[in-house]
């Protein structure tokens, strides 16, 4: 989420090449939003920190981002099918889009690992402008993913709690409206970050970007720090913990009630579908909280002890890079999660990529993502063969 990005992932979202950190001091006085002290990778840096940085940034990040891009693309191929249309699917699709864009944004910075490419003036000019854009959009997409996760959790909770009140259940149109609002507000909230830093036009200067007067303004610094902690960390995480707890409770209650009442086959199928997709949401939220736990710890430590305290200590620098990898994992893990939990999702995925879905005479809705969706099995009637008698 945005606060974790700002306070604990600067080298990933600005530099791309952590080996240059000892030569890049941007002269920021009160705001270390996207930079760290220049001495952190100097001669006194512990060996375990350098090794952690190398493994996280140069080994794991390219692999995770590449696999995550493919995985989110495959998720979109399945979730965007017409028979999958439901409110929950809308949120999951938006999460896949946000995660996909976040992962794609990291690709250009990997070219900095190639010294022959990084030394060219054309690449230096490009990467210095791209760093500022990437810094802002990473914040936007991380914030979107966090609040979309909150949205889909609340949608599932309402569907379980008020399952007999159709007017209260989230519809597809309401879900799409909520998604648009989340993306728009996230962009508006982080729009001012475009004016925090500017590219350094002196390509011989190792400093890739320069800070503006905006980041030195005490009022702006206080506003940014307080709102980031509140809106990007405290509120979403606590909402997820509370909503997910209620979701698990009502999921267990509904399952017990369904088994005791011995519902008819059709209604039983709908209940199973509802329990199935709710379990997917629960697992998604649990992984989200686990992957962001290090970021929450770093954010709370920064809020209580300050950025200089955190960024000046090797153990926190190592945690910062681990946190970066965990957030990228969270953006890449949804597709294997869906496949592991849902046999219907796996079946639809196989049918889509074998090209058999349209040709099959009898098929089952792949993974109905709400109890109001097409949850029951149905059969498309085969073509009727009729013999015509020729007219004489």
CATH number, residue 228:
1.20.1070.10
| Average pLDDT, integer, range 242-261 | 73
Q: With CA atoms as reference, report the closest residue to 143 among 230, 79, 74.
A: 230
The answer to whether residue 27 is domain-embedded is: no
The reported pLDDT for the residue numbered 338 is: 87
Q: How far apart are CA 3 and CA 99, in angstroms?
A: 17
Instruction: Answer whether residue 141 shows pLDDT above 90.
Output: yes
Domain that holds residue 303: 44-258+270-356
Residue 170 or residue 101, greater confidence: 101
Residue 114 falls within a domain, yes or no? yes
Is residue 164 scored above 90 in pLDDT?
no
What is the enclosing helix (H) or strand (E) of 298?
helix 293-305
Is 126 among the domain residues? yes
Torsion over CA: 360, 362, 365, 366 (sign): negative
* 342 belongs to a structural domain: yes
Question: What does the pLDDT read at residue 171?
Answer: 86
> What's the confidence (pLDDT) of residue 206?
86
Cα separation, 179 vs 183, in Å, equals 6
At residue 362, φ and ψ (nearest 5 deg) are: -125, 130
- What average pLDDT does range 57-78 have in this prediction? 94
Comparing 138 with 264, the larger pLDDT belongs to 138
Q: Is residue 26 part of a domain?
A: no
- Predicted local distance difference test score (pLDDT) of residue 292: 87
Residue 290's Cβ-side half-sphere holds a number of Cα atoms within 13 Å equal to 9
pLDDT digits (tens, 9 = 90+) for 315-331: 999 999 999 999 999 99
Percent of all residues in the chain with a pLDDT value above 90, rounded to a whole number? 34
Contact between 295 and 327 under an 8 Å Cβ cutoff? The reply is: yes
- Assess whether pLDDT exceeds 80 at residue 172: yes
Confidence of residue 356 (pLDDT cuts 50, 70, 90): low
Residue 10 inside a domain? The answer is no
Question: Does the residue 159 lie in any domain?
Answer: yes
CB atoms within 10 A of CB 101: 18
Residue 107 has pLDDT above 90, yes or no: yes
| pLDDT-derived band at 37, boundaries 50, 70, 90 | very low
d(CA 95, CA 72): 9
Q: Is 55 helix (H, G, I), strand (E, B) or coil?
A: helix
Q: Can you state the angle between helices 314-332 and 87-106, rounded to 10 degrees?
A: 130
Return the higher-pLDDT residue of 163 and 219: 219
In a domain, 346, yes or no: yes
| E-assigned strand segments in 171-211 | 197-199, 209-211
Instruction: Grade residue 298 by pLDDT with cuts at 50, 70 and 90.
Output: confident
Q: How many domains does the chain have?
A: 1
Query: Full-prediction pTM beyond 0.85?
Result: no
Q: Which of 11-25, 172-186, 258-272 has the lowest mean pLDDT?
A: 11-25
């Amino acid at each position: 989420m945005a606060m974790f990005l700002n306070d604990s992932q600067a080298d990933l979202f600005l530099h791309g090449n952590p080996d240059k950190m000892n030569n890049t001091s941007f002269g920021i006085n009160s705001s270390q939003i996207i930079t760290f002290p220049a001495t952190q990778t100097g001669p006194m840096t512990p060996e375990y920190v350098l090794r952690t940085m190398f493994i996280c940034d140069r080994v794991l990040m390219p692999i995770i981002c590449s696999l995550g891009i493919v995985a989110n693309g495959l998720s979109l191929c399945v979730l965007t099918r017409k028979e999958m249309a439901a409110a929950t699917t809308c949120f999951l699709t938006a999460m896949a889009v946000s995660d996909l864009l976040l992962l794609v944004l990291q690709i250009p910075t990997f070219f900095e690992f190639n010294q022959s490419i990084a030394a060219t003036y054309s690449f230096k000019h490009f990467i210095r402008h791209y760093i500022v854009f990437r810094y802002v959009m990473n914040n936007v997409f991380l914030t979107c993913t966090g609040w979309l996760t909150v949205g889909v959790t609340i949608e599932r909770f309402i569907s379980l709690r008020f399952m007999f009140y159709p007017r209260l259940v989230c519809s597809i149109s309401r879900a799409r409206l909520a998604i648009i609002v989340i993306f728009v507000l996230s962009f508006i909230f982080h729009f001012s970050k475009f004016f925090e830093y500017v590219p350094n036009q002196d390509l011989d200067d190792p400093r890739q970007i320069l800070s503006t007067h905006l980041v030195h303004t005490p009022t702006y610094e206080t506003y940014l720090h307080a709102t980031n902690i509140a809106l990007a960390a405290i509120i979403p995480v606590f909402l997820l913990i509370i909503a997910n707890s209620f979701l698990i409770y009502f999921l267990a209650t509904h399952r017990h009630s369904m088994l005791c009442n011995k519902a008819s086959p059709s209604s039983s199928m709908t209940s199973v579908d509802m329990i199935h997709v709710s379990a997917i949401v629960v697992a998604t939220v649990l992984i989200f909280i686990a992957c962001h736990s290090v970021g929450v710890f770093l954010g709370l430590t920064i809020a209580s002890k300050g950025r200089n305290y955190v960024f000046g200590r090797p153990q926190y620098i190592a945690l910062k890079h681990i946190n970066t990898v965990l957030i990228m994992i969270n953006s890449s893990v949804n597709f294997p999660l869906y496949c592991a939990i849902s046999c219907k999702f796996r079946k639809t995925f196989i049918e889509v990529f074998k090209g058999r879905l349209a040709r099959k005479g009898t098929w089952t809705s792949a993974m109905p993502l709400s109890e109001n969706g097409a949850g029951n099995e149905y059969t498309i009637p085969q073509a009727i063969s009729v013999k015509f008698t020729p007219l004489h």
